[in-house]
Amino acid sequence: MTSYREFYIDGRWVAAVGTAVLPVVDPSTEAAFAEIALASAADVDAAVAAAKRSFDGYARTSRLERIELLEALIEEYRKRQDEMAEAISLEMGAPLELARRAQAPAGLDHLQQAVAVLRDYRFDRFINDALVTREPVGVCGFITPWNWPMNQIACKVAPALATGCTMVLKPSEVAPISALLFSEMVHAAGIPAGVYNMINGDGPTAGEALVRHRDVEMVSFTGSTRAGVLVAKAAADTVKRVHQELGGKSPNLLLDDADFASAVPRSVRSCFGNSGQSCNAPTRLLVPRARHDEVVALAGQAAGALRVGPPRAAGTALGPVVSATQFERIQRLIGIAIAEGATLVAGGLGRPDGLERGYYVRPTIFADVSNDMTIAREEVFGPVLAIIPYDSEEEAIAVANDTPYGLSSYVTSGDRDRARHVARRMRAGMVHLNGAPLDSAAPFGGYKQSGNGRECGIFGFEDFLEVKTVFGHGREGVES
């Protein structure tokens, strides 16, 4: 078993002050393969102090200097991208094919996007005689999840580096190995000491100390809505900027003119991707009542075609969910759906046949779901799909918006103008029309209890900038 007892602080690896350790478990075997030190408040203080000391100098670096640093980090990432995919697959159970195709490349994509925005970004503008300039917000605290580890780390770290901020990263203690590897890349790239710092730790100790710290001027958190509420409360005493990307219960609306033969299997695969462990997964499939049984048959066939198995086995579509806690939560919600009268179409309680060890969940589909059932209200974060029938387009839109969440939504129609019209009425931060994929240059984020602020591209970039107005400045002598 590998032991990681050091944190990356002030440009070097330093021994943890705290003595607590935590095993890191391979969810496909339920066996620990590593252990990490858990940061104490003293470790958090040391990391924040390093970030604070380095801020003034790094904030004054030029656009070109920051581009060169990011390009050096991109080069280091490229060298070790396959290693990153292996680490992600091992720590959180993603099929190795998915880790190589999507999980690891997501980190590189965000680094490249940050460079693309930085090259042409106008930091200075004028309103009459006043200069309006954007400056780095300061020391940032990042708390990231286990489900898309490098996606969430890079979409925070990259724009922070690009804008001149310094930072302390606390990745999920459930899946920390990818963050340790990323920190090695940061060091090899020559990022100045203290600009990027990384500690491991749990939420109640390290996470709370980071959020409450008086020298942290912005917190960016990705995780559950429940945890996001606690983060916001803890940050309130110091009136720091809080940026959150939280949960979702995304509606997937199939209009009556959709091509059901292609749309339904695509919907199932999209919901079950990453073993259902994505905040923007389309977990509520809204279908015309007259075609409900047709959809049920198609969805059942699609679920049956998905192979659940070890992450490193060829042909595996779904690996395990990340932990025993997550497995037990999913089982509880499946049991509640059955008790509340939803029709079980595929999957159900327990592990798939032949998989007695590991946190494997049966790909599960419920039909005849009403939107007031628990399975339609709570975020499951597992491979569970709820099929909800509707009688009219107006009803479908109302049901789609009847949720405390508002992260993403999906609309499929044979008439693109009709799909666009419905998209305008979705109360969500993102709408996918006819299966359109994400674009990392466009903003990612949600309405309502799905969070605030936006990540990715220029919108994510600007969340790390403060706005300063200099009255009477005049238009001469400004390099934007």
Distance CA 407, CA 226 (A): 15
Angstrom distance (rounded) from CA 107 to CA 100? 11
- The pLDDT of residue 480 is 55
Say what the pLDDT of residue 18 is: 86
Query: How does pLDDT run across 6-21, given as a tens digit for each residue?
Result: 999 999 999 999 899 9
Please state, rounded to an integer, the average pLDDT across all residues of the chain: 97
Report, in angstroms and rounded to the nearest whole number, the Rg of the chain calculated over CA atoms: 23
Strands 139-143 and 218-222: parallel
The stretch 27-35 carries a mean pLDDT of: 98
Task: Return the CATH class of domain 2-246+450-470.
Answer: alpha beta
Active site residues: 245, 279
Q: In the numeric block, which tokens belong to residue 475?
A: 């238009």
- Whether the per-residue pLDDT at 479 is higher than 80: the answer is no
Give me the pLDDT at residue 63, please: 98
Q: What is the mean pLDDT of residues 348-364?
A: 97
Same fold yes or no, 2-246+450-470 and 251-433: no
217 to 55, 137, 152, 209, 220: CA distances (angstroms): 11, 7, 19, 13, 10
Place of tokens 């490193």: 312
* pLDDT band, very low/low/confident/very high, at 477 (cuts 50, 70, 90): low
User: Which pLDDT band holds residue 475 (cuts at 50, 70, 90)?
Assistant: confident
Q: What is the mean pLDDT of residues 41-46?
A: 98
* Per-residue confidence (pLDDT) for residue 78, from 0 to 100: 98
Please give the biggest Cα pair distance in the chain.
Answer: 74
**Is residue 467 over pLDDT 70?**
yes
Residues 452-469 have a mean pLDDT of 97
Helices then strands, counting H and E runs in the chain, come out as 16, 23
Tens digit of pLDDT for each residue in 109-163? 999 999 999 999 999 999 999 999 999 999 999 999 999 999 999 999 999 999 9
E-assigned strand segments in 246-298: 251-254, 284-288
Looking at per-residue confidence, does 478 or 228 come out higher?
A: 228
pLDDT tens string 296-336: 999 999 999 999 999 999 999 999 999 999 999 999 999 99
Given a contact cutoff of 8 angstroms between Cβ atoms, the answer to whether 370 and 376 are in contact is yes
User: pLDDT tens digit string along 275-287?
Assistant: 999 999 999 999 9
pLDDT in tens, 52-102: 999 999 999 999 999 999 999 999 999 999 999 999 999 999 999 999 999
How confident is the model at residue 353, as a pLDDT? 95
Give the 3-state DSSP-derived string for 91-107, with helices as H, strands as E and coil as C. Answer: HHCCCHHHHHHHHHHHH
Question: Tokens 């190795």 map to which residue?
Answer: 96
CATH for 251-433 is 3.40.309.10
Annotated domain spans of the chain: 2-246+450-470, 251-433
